[in-house]
């Protein structure tokens, strides 16, 4: 089974500073990788996904992530944090369900991003 | 836009009660999922369904069952609620397209079992 490790359960940055949220995965086959964001009292929203087309993936709200196979990483970055970016972020990896071609996701434990004024 | 709705945002139940959590999606997706979310544990998959009347156990199915009688609706059932089932429950649906599955989530149901 695949797994995801998010380094740092809580990251705090100042407004305008670089955001870096770390995600490492384990997989025996090329994975599909996802970042989701959860704002307070809401469900999860897809930020971006990697599906082997390009190693640098751009998502919504100015976020991007780079797939590095040699490091088994898929870190999420944003050049300049905004107050509205305060949320919890989840990295996820696809996991082949043994029953066929359908996939299910394995999620990391999440990183809470705080943005200070 | 894909819409996934859950029947309740907040729910308070007593130990031993039978609890139904309903989820409806309006995009004709084949796959539907139930997760629970707990602080420090992330999302854990309870059950999923890839077709009407089909279901598969996820990582933590104990104490739960599911029902999918119609494609758009996926129900999570707690046969006899216990305090350790107090949690946030998230439903999701997905359309598998060339192996690039994106899951779309509902707003969640926060369940408190007293």
Higher pLDDT, A32 or A53: A32
Secondary structure letter of residue A30 according to DSSP = P
Tally of CB atoms within 10 A around B70: 10
Averaged pLDDT, B82-87: 97
Judged by a CB distance cut-off of 8 A, whether residue B48 touches chain A is: yes
Interface contact flag, A44 B105, Cβ < 8 Å: yes
Instruction: Give the residue from A107, A115, A102, A41 showing the smallest Cα distance to B48.
Output: A102
CB contact under 8 A, B33 and A104: yes
Give the pLDDT of residue B114.
Answer: 96
With beta carbons less than 8 A apart as the criterion, state whether B49 and B74 touch. yes
Q: What's the CA angle centered on A62, arms B108 and B39, to 5 degrees?
A: 30
Instruction: Name the least confident of A29-38, A74-83, B17-26.
Output: A29-38
Across the range A42-54, mean pLDDT stands at 87
Residue B68: pLDDT above 90? Answer: yes
Please check whether residue A27 touches B, CB under 8 A.
no
Q: What is the mean pLDDT of residues A47-69?
A: 90
């Amino acid at each position: 089974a695949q797994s995801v490790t998010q380094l740092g359960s809580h990251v705090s940055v100042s407004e305008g500073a670089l955001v870096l949220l770390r995600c490492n995965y384990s997989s025996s086959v090329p994975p599909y990788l996802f970042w989701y964001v959860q704002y307070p009292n809401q469900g999860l929203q897809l930020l971006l996904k990697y599906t082997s087309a390009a190693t640098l993936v751009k998502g919504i709200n100015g976020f991007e992530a780079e797939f590095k196979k040699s490091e088994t990483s898929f870190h999420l970055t944003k050049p300049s944090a905004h107050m509205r970016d305060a949320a919890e972020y989840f990295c996820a990896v696809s996991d082949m369900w043994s029953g066929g071609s359908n996939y299910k996701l394995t999620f990391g434990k999440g990183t809470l991003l705080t943005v200070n004024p | 836009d894909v819409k996934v709705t859950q029947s309740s945002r907040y729910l308070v139940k007593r130990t031993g009660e039978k609890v139904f959590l309903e989820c409806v999606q309006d995009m004709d997706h084949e796959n539907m999922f139930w997760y629970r979310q707990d602080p420090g544990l992330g999302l854990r998959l309870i059950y999923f369904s890839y077709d009407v009347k089909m279901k598969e156990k996820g990582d933590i199915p104990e104490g739960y069952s599911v029902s999918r009688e119609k494609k758009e609706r996926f129900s999570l059932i707690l046969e006899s609620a216990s305090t350790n089932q107090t949690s946030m429950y998230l439903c999701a649906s997905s359309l598998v397209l060339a192996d690039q599955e994106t899951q779309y989530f509902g707003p969640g149901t926060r369940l408190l079992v007293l």
